[in-house]
Every structure is written in structure tokens, then in C-alpha cells.
């Protein structure tokens, strides 16, 4: 029987329009949605921070964030990482910078015993912060990524080409953009995911992308890398869950020993899905995360 649906409180922070320009500041103040539980747990640790993947945003994780807030009785902050969603743009896009943004978010909101959940790019951001500042993190959930250097899906470069072509075409309708993107991606759900970044400014007649395509294009070669190379020098000794899509190549079996060296208390959960684990199998994902994060009796 599925869990009883309970209403969750919800509040939103969106950076003002002027702040979503380029910032040279070393840390970016992240936009977020806060999903609060209707019945807060009295014995759970602190808040959960949920981080999306490349080309994603906080809105992609709205449903699962509400479900986890409900099931765990914990507030869930779904954030927009730098250069995504409503967060400011910055010419630097790497895991150390993104981890610093999240550390600043934790400090800014005075969060304690924080759980980090991240998918893909968000997963490597979570791992980076956990290894860099383990004292401020309670545990992590890494979704379909591992702490090693690995090439990104080749599709990401194609996506940027298609998105650039859409901007050059000066489209005014979503359908026009989708027609162009078909040349670069056959899957309708993935096209819809990418086109979720499309918007039209009030003073413009054509649509553009919220994400800075030039910055992300230059960052692609480095987004497959992981900033820590030697697990003998740094480890996260607290609980960690690695959720793997069994049809994805991002956590091969040969990666498990290196995960164990960086995260000696890690657990592995396999889900019958590709790289987009959360959208493909939301209920299976919810179950493994709740089982991992539920307080011990």
C-alpha cells in the first residue's frame, strides 16, 4: 500500500532577475525551494539539501523532495546550483566551486547535521563537499555517479549545440524549439527536460535559455573529473548511499573499490534504470532513500 499523502508546507526563494547575471564573487548565493513536512520528526537529524544534475534545476526534484519531506519528517531544500535555474551565473563551473556554494548555503541557513542528495553533477558536488568539509555533513546520497574521473555522456555536447541553434533561430514558441532539438535528441522526455530551461524575458520577443551555454560548454571537459585523486589523503567516515542505475555506465563494478576507499561506510542500491534514475523510477528511488535515511529506532 502506498504511503498516505500528507500536505507539505512549501516556500520558495528566487534570486531577483538582476542577480542572474555573471558574478565574479567566489561564492554564489543559491536559489532554492523549501519543502517542509506537515509532521516534523522529533528524532531525525537536520535538513536535506537536494541537488540536480547538468541542465537541471530545483523544479526537477519538486515531487521527490515533497515525498521525502513527508516520509522522513525533515525539511528538504531543493537548490539551483550555480549557472542553473534561478541561481546567478559565474564563469567558474567546477565541483570545488559548486561545493563551496553549498557550504555557504549551509552556513547562511544555519543548518546542522545536513544530508546531501545529488544526482549526476549534483552527486559529485555532494561527494566533493563531504570529503572537503565532513564536519558539516551528516550523510550523503550519491545518485548515479562515482568519485572518479569519467567521461560525460557524449550527448551533453550535442545538447549544447542544439540549444545554441535554438537561440540563433530566435524561436518564439516551445514547439519550434522542440522541432530543432529533434535533430540532436530523439527522446521526448529528455527534450522536454532540456527545454525546461527555455524562457522569455519580458523585454524580449524570442526565447532564450536560463543556463549560460558558453560557460557550460567550456566546463564539459572538466565535469567528468573528480577533484580528489587519492583516497589515502581524504575520506568521509560517515554513512553514504550510492544509488546506481543498472542500465547506466556511471558506476561500473570496477568503481566500487574506489568508492569504498573514499566512503568506507557506503551502501549500494541498484535500481533498474538508466542515468535518469529519479525520473525513470521515482518510487523505487524513494523507497531506497527512505530506508537509508530513516532514523534508527
Q: Distance between alpha carbon 289 and the CA centroid of its chain, in Å?
A: 15
Among this protein's residues, is 179 annotated catalytic?
Answer: no
Q: How many independent structural domains does the chain possess?
A: 2
Same domain as 60, residue 87: yes
Same domain as 275, residue 197: no
| The last residue of a domain, from among 220, 238, 271 | 220
Same domain as 163, residue 69: no
Question: Which is the catalytic residue, given 120, 142, 248, 279?
Answer: 120
| The last residue of a domain, from among 220, 241, 256 | 220
> What confidence tens digit (pLDDT) does each residue in 137-157 have?
999 999 999 999 987 766 889
Same domain as 122, residue 197: no
Among this protein's residues, is 275 annotated catalytic?
Answer: yes
How deeply is 49 buried, as exposed, middle or buried, from its count of CB atoms within 10 A (0-12, 13-18, 19+)? buried
> What confidence tens digit (pLDDT) does each residue in 72-105 have?
999 999 999 999 999 999 999 999 999 999 999 9
Strand order in the sheet with 240-245: 9-13, 32-36, 76-79, 48-51, 114-119, 137-143, 240-245, 266-271
Same domain as 161, residue 236: no
CB atoms within 10 A of CB 181: 23
Question: Which is the catalytic residue, given 35, 93, 119, 275?
Answer: 275
Same domain as 164, residue 77: no
pTM of the predicted structure, to 2 decimals = 0.89
Same domain as 19, residue 80: yes
Segment 203-229 mean pLDDT = 93
Segment 281-296 mean pLDDT = 94
Same domain as 241, residue 257: yes
Instruction: Give the CA angle between residues 114, 124, 249 to the nearest 5°.
Output: 130
Amino acid at each position: 500500500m502506498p504511503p498516505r499523502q500528507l500536505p507539505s508546507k512549501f516556500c520558495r526563494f528566487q534570486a531577483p532577475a538582476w542577480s542572474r547575471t555573471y558574478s565574479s564573487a567566489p561564492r554564489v548565493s543559491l536559489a532554492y525551494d523549501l519543502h517542509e513536512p506537515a509532521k516534523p520528526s522529533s528524532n531525525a537529524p537536520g535538513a536535506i539539501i537536494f541537488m540536480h544534475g547538468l541542465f537541471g534545476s530545483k523544479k526537477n526534484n519538486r515531487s521527490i523532495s515533497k515525498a521525502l519531506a513527508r516520509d522522513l519528517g525533515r525539511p528538504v531544500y531543493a537548490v539551483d546550483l550555480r549557472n542553473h535555474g534561478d541561481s546567478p551565473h559565474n564563469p567558474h563551473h567546477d565541483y570545488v566551486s559548486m561545493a563551496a556554494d553549498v557550504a555557504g548555503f549551509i552556513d547562511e541557513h544555519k543548518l546542522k547535521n545536513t544530508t546531501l542528495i545529488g544526482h549526476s553533477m549534483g552527486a559529485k558536488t555532494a561527494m566533493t563537499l563531504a570529503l572537503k568539509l565532513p564536519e558539516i555533513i551528516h550523510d550523503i546520497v550519491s545518485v548515479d555517479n562515482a568519485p572518479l574521473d569519467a567521461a560525460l555522456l557524449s550527448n551533453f555536447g550535442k545538447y549544447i549545440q542544439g540549444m545554441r541553434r535554438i537561440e540563433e533561430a530566435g524561436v518564439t514558441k516551445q514547439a519550434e524549439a522542440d522541432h530543432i532539438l529533434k535533430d540532436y535528441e530523439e527522446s521526448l522526455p529528455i527534450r522536454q527536460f532540456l527545454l525546461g530551461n527555455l524562457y522569455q524575458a519580458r523585454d524580449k520577443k524570442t526565447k532564450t535559455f536560463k543556463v549560460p551555454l558558453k560557460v557550460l560548454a567550456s566546463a564539459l571537459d572538466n565535469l567528468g573529473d573528480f577533484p580528489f585523486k587519492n583516497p589515502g589523503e581524504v575520506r568521509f567516515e560517515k554513512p553514504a548511499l550510492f544509488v546506481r542505475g543498472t542500465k547506466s555506465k556511471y558506476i561500473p563494478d570496477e568503481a566500487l573499490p574506489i568508492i569504498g576507499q573514499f566512503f568506507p561506510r557506503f551502501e549500494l542500491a541498484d535500481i533498474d534504470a538508466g542515468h535518469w534514475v529519479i525520473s525513470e523510477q521515482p518510487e523505487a528511488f524513494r523507497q531506497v532513500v527512505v530506508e537509508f535515511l530513516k532514523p534508527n529506532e
